[in-house]
Structure 1
Amino acid sequence: MAAAAKHVGINPVEVLQTEVIIVGAGPVGLMLANLLGKFGRKAMVLETLPSLIDYPRGVGLDDESFRTIQAVGLDGQVLPHTNPQHIMRIVNANGTVMLVNNPQTKEFGWDRKHGFIQPEVDRVLYEGLDRFKDISVYFNHTVVDAEEDADGVTAVVNVLEDNGATKTIHVRGQYLVGCEGGKSPTRKRMGVSFDGESPSTRWLVVDVNNDPLGTPNVFLGADPHRPYVSIGLPHAVRRFEFMLHDHESEDQVTDPDFVNELLKDHVPDPSNLDFIRRRVFTHHGRVAGSFRKGRQLIAGDAAHLMPVWLGQGWNSGMRDATNLGWKLATVLAGDADDALLDTYTAERRDHAAAMVELSLTFGKFIKITNPVGAKARDAASKVLNLLPQVKDYFASMKFKPMPRYHTGVLVDPSTQRPGTAAAKITAKLTPFRTANSDVSPVGLQFPQPLVMTDAQGEQKLDDAIGPWWSVVVWGNDPHKVLPEESIQQLKALGASLVCIVPQTQRDFLQAQISDDVTVLGDHTGAVKKWFDDRPTPVVFLRPDKFVAGACLVQHAPATLAGILAAMHRSQQDVHTAYSAR
């Protein structure tokens, strides 16, 4: 993409038009642009820097993010830049392993943890935008102000030209999303709080090529003398991180001799390393009070900053883009009132805050420098490791809070009330009382098992059902579950109709079912088990693959009506939906 050429010849008084102005060509801005392009919308990405950042920052990519990468069709291009099943071991000062984090699940279709090379993955996201004629990226473009009115927002942009001169242009859109990092001018213009803490502890990051160790995983060194991190990454890159003491200045700790001294216990010959960078950074734990104000929104580090301990900064930004992308596309298409965008803060803020708190707590466990406290921690870890349930809790990463939305585009399965969903099913019908679990699936991500399709054979579920809304019915034709009025509402929403049956029934049902229904075979039994454990054989999936509604067959029309209300469909559509209840 010849981004530099895209601003050549622009008249300074000309106003460029788009639908969404994205400020920042980091991973969050690039992913949001990919999602909007995938959904057929228009966007311009405006970046102050002359090019993408070419050094590593984030090093951990999780299964939720990979699912989003899959959703925009770039998983094949990203995979070569990842190490799946990235195991993390926490060791004490003697190198004794205290805890192991090695989750085995592929619940969402991908390994739960991957090491990755961020510059390469960011470049895949950037180059992926070439597919979309209405998505553009402009480097050397700095947004200096934004002016809102009733119909849109105008960004005032300083453009650095090839000859070194600067000119000012305007870019007009319906919405502006700030993805420009922790110092976000967009957030400051919005005037929202940025609550939390910025611990004074500083760390030195050292990235090197031609990994001098070659071990493939992650070690967190809980050494009270100087806590450290050693991470094996793809393409033979290794990252070291060392906690700095208060008296150590930035000039001192980035001096090659000082760095070599830090590395001498980790690398046989520190003087013979191919350094990528040596950089000091401080951990922050902050969350914005709101992610939206009027026509301006924020995502990624602009909305929340978290310590690096659990590798969730990059991934939390991906979750923001995943949540916001389909909502912006829906509003821009005129399929919902822009009150739908208020659900972005309602759904994303609490989980971001929970991840920040967990990361801060985890960091406090690692960076104990008091020798007595460190010995107490090591002793407690040794005892806890003797308990299988506790050991599994850390190994399987069960301490990580999975996103669960309680308010937003949801319908409670017990009451069919729109806009909210309790964590437990409280209905008293026998199917609910006798189910294997009373945990509500609404507000959680639906799993992504492998399924069998008629045309493609074995596929991941998301690839089989498509990127937009879908209604998934176990064992039956959606036309027989929902009245015609509801079917037409689903079609107006662009939803796919899906039936999943045991693989033994697929060919039989395929020959009898309506042409507009996708029939999938459950050849592994994973889908049947999910439905067997829950009294909700009808599931309404949002484009981000979160469950908007889940119910018994006879509750399906009312559940759909609630979903349409919760997503702020037009008054006519909402009235029609409620009349069906």
Structure 2
Amino acid sequence: MSDNLYDVVIIGAGPVGLTAAGLLGHYGHTVAVIERHPSLYNLPRAGHIDHEIMRVVQLLGCAETFLTDAVACDTYTLKNGEGELLAEFPWSSAGISGWPSDFMMYQPVLEDALYSRAVDDPHVTFRRGFEVHGITTHDDYVEVHATAAASPDDFEGPAGDQQELIVRGRYLIGADGGRSFVRDWLGTEREDLGFSEMWLNADCRRKRPVAMDFDSGQWCDPRRPLTVFPLGKRHRRFEWALLPGETPEEMSKPAVAWELLSHLGLTSQDLSIVRQHVWKFEAKIAREWQRGRVFLAGDAAHTMPPFQGQGMCSGIRDVTNLAWKLDLVLRGISDAALLATYQEEREPNLRAWTTLSIETGRLTCTLDTEEAERRDKAYRNGTVEPMPQIPPLSGLVHEGPGAGELSLQSKVRRGDTVGLFDDVVGTGFTILSTVAEPASVLQAEQQAFLKALGAQIVYVGTDDSADITDIDGGYTRHLAERGWDVVITRPDFYVFGGGPLTGLGAMVDELAVLLKTKQTR
């Protein structure tokens, strides 16, 4: 089997690969997805997304399906081994992206939605059941060699021969997980950030309502740290740290999980175990995420402990960043040099989340009783060291306050249509002003450049003179707080820059230069 030349080949059809396929298909590019599993994996791994990722899910038209089972979080609770409340974190606040701050979810529901979106896109082709065994690079394309095992003669039909598959693409994204073939092929080393712990995971389906001391959070008990939280509306996750001397083989026995669940007052009358597995939590970052036309994304590029719920989220951020840049290059608007900014932009954010996840794990999950007592005392006294902060995006952004932050999504009205901005107006590059029509201060060449980008150029206000009505005044307040008349937002929802309307032309010119486009002055 040999395919025509695709714009992008993606290896791996997990949530990161599916998101990449959906986004690139949305941009109108042909995509081939190669996956070794013949069907969706259908077991949970990640259990959380935040409002930023929810906005990507919205862009792909998957929000309604996802929300049938997802749970918007309320409070995340920390208690010590004696049941003393250490801290409560309110997670029910509205995120700037237009959605609640955090969701707990059952991953197969998300994957089903992402897969349905991608498989229905005529730009996207799936090749399932194929194991990749070779990659060859050429000057203007990449060639992937894969094999499907011979099928046996059984009740489903006669035996089938082994199939060989060759797929060619202008670019290749390796989204093939922590044991990535693509990363091994690149030969890139991974930096080990020095975190390694073994935890038992039991994902359970609820048979009836389950009463817990708290819905989401951690028992910071040095005798055995425990994490509990819902996986959507029908499932729950329980995670216990392995103690010294315990082995994955021993802890993987069903009797062990039931014994630990019994300490929480739970039995087989309450739950059924969907998956029991010992995970090794590690923090490793590939040193090279791109070589020529080949890219790494998600767990293939980085892994982190789960204590901030940002592993899968970070992978989706990867491909959201990469997809719009590939779009500009494939459309001939930007030079291929733009793609070098992928790792430059993504790694600082990923490294910050990884550091925060490590520090959270070390603080809350220590097995040292003396260290745990010092931690508890610090919580009581309000002297806990502040956690590392996530910096704003740096790279292809305008210098100035607010640049590199996530952009606001609020409710608007256009004509008789009311909804969140992306659904009503659209996505991509956006020029939004709350004082006047942005195009009124732009030269013809600048408007032509923005048209080539496919940018949305809108005046959002509270009166009838505006293109779009700012229903709750969200945009008016948000820009006024920052002293802006206008803001430029990138397709990955990060702010390029904001400022006075009189400075918009200069910002547009700067954007053109940074994108290395053929429209530069």
| Band the TM-score falls in, shorter-chain normalisation | over 0.9
For residues 302-360 of structure 1, give each alpha carbon's deviation from its aligned partner in whole angstroms, at most 9, with x where no partner exists.
11101011111111111112111111111111111111111111110111011111101
Query: In 2, are the aligned partners of 1:290 and 1:349 still within 8 Å (CA)?
Result: no
Aligned to 2:176: 180
Deviation at 1:214, TM superposition (A): 4.5
* 1:352 aligned residue: 350
Residue of 366, 376, 381 corresponding to 1:378: 376
- 2:435 counterpart residue number: 475
Q: Distance in 2 between matches of 1:165 and 1:246?
A: 48
**Structure 1 residue 65: deviation in Å?**
0.6
Kept after mapping to 1: 8 A contact 2:427/2:456 = no
Quick one: which of 15, 27, 35 aligns to 1:27?
Answer: 15
Shift of 1:538: 2.0
| Selected match of 2:135 from 99, 123, 146 | 146
User: Which of 360-369 and 549-558 deviates more?
Assistant: 549-558
Q: How does 1:516-531 map to 2 (within 5 A)?
A: 519-531=467-479
Corresponding residue number in structure 1 for 2:123: 134
Contact 1:198 1:283 in 2 (8 A): no
- Match of 2:352, SS state, is helix
Letter in 1 for 2:457: L
Give 1:105 shift: 2.7
1:122 is aligned with what amino acid?
Answer: E
2:93 equivalent to 1:93: no
Superposed counterparts of 1:52-201, under 5 Å: 52-103=40-91, 104-162=93-151, 163=159, 165-197=161-193, 199-201=195-197
Partner SS, residue 349 of structure 2: helix
The structural deviation recorded for 1:195 is 0.8
The percentage of counterpart residues that share the same residue type is 29
Q: Is it true that 1:554 corresponds to 2:521 in the alignment?
A: no
Structure 1 residues 211 and 64, CA gap change in structure 2 (3 angstroms): farther
The answer on whether the counterparts of 1:202 and 1:243 sit within 8 Å (CA) in structure 2 is yes
Residues of 2 paired with 1:214 and 1:23: CA distance? Answer: 42
Aligned to 2:155: none
Give the Å deviation of 1:164.
5.6
8 Å contact 2:352–2:391 — kept in the other structure? no
Pairing partner for 1:443 from 398, 401, 404 = 404
Aligned equivalent of 2:156: none
1:542 and 2:490 equivalent? yes
- Match for 1:242 among 217, 240, 243? 240
Partner of 1:420 in structure 2? none
Report the alpha carbon displacement of residue 58 of structure 1 after superposing the two structures with TM: 0.7
1:15 positional shift: 4.2
Sort the Cα spacing of 1:481 and 1:400 in 2 relative to 1 into closer, same or farther, 3 A. Answer: farther
1:228 & 1:454 partners in 2: Cα distance?
51
Whether the 8 Å CA contact 1:264–1:270 is kept in 2: the answer is no
Per-residue CA distance 1:89-128 (angstroms, 9 max, x = gap): 1110012221112131332100111110101110110011
Offset, 1:382 = 1.4
Corresponding residue of 1:329 = 327
**1:314 counterpart residue number:** 312
C-alpha separation in 1, matches of 2:369 and 2:183: 41
The alpha carbon displacement at 1:258 in A equals: 2.4
Q: Is residue 196–residue 282 contact of structure 2 (8 Å, CA) maintained in 1?
A: no
5+ unaligned residues in a row in structure 1: which ranges?
1-9, 394-398, 413-424, 426-439, 511-518
Aligned-residue offset at 1:156: 1.1
1:280 to 271, 278, 291: 278
Task: Tell whether 2:27 aligns with 1:39.
Answer: yes
Between 479-488 and 70-79, the greater mean CA deviation after superposition: 479-488
Q: In structure 1, give the amino acid aligned to 2:359.
A: T
Q: Structure 2 CA distance, aligned partners of 1:289 and 1:211?
A: 45
TM-fit CA distance, 1:161 = 4.6
Total equivalences in the alignment: 511
* Higher fraction of helix: 1
Instruction: Identify if the C-alpha distance between structure 1 residues 164 and 252 changes in structure 2 by more than 3 Å, giving closer, same or farther.
Output: farther
Shift in Å at residue 410 of structure 1? 2.0
Give the superposition deviation at 1:524.
1.8
Partner-residue secondary structure (3-state), 1:459: strand
User: What secondary structure, in the 3-state scheme, does the structure 2 residue paired with 1:405 have?
Assistant: coil
- Give the counterpart letter for 1:455 in structure 2: D
The Cα shift of 1:469 comes to 1.6
- Partner residue, 2:5: 17
CA distance in 2, matches of 1:111, 1:271: 33
2:397 counterpart SS class:
strand
Q: Displacement of 1:272 after TM fit?
A: 6.6
RMSD of the alignment, in Å?
2.0
Q: Which moved more, 1:361-370 or 1:192-201?
A: 192-201
Confirm whether residue 493 of structure 1 aligns to residue 453 of structure 2.
yes
Q: Distance in 2 between matches of 1:533 and 1:358?
A: 28
Matched residue of 2:110: which SS? helix
Matching residue's letter, 1:569: T
Q: Work out the CA distance in 2 between the residues paired with 1:251 and 1:282.
A: 13
Could you say what secondary structure the match of 1:443 adopts?
A: coil
Tell me the TM-score normalised to structure 1 length: 0.84
Range that drifts further, 296-305 or 261-270: 261-270
- Taking the aligned partners of 2:6 and 2:391, their CA distance within structure 1 comes to 32
Contact 1:195 1:287 in 2 (8 A): yes
Distance between the aligned counterparts of 2:378 and 2:499, measured in 1? 45
Q: Which residue of 2 aligns with 1:452?
A: 413
- 3-state SS of the aligned residue for 1:487? helix
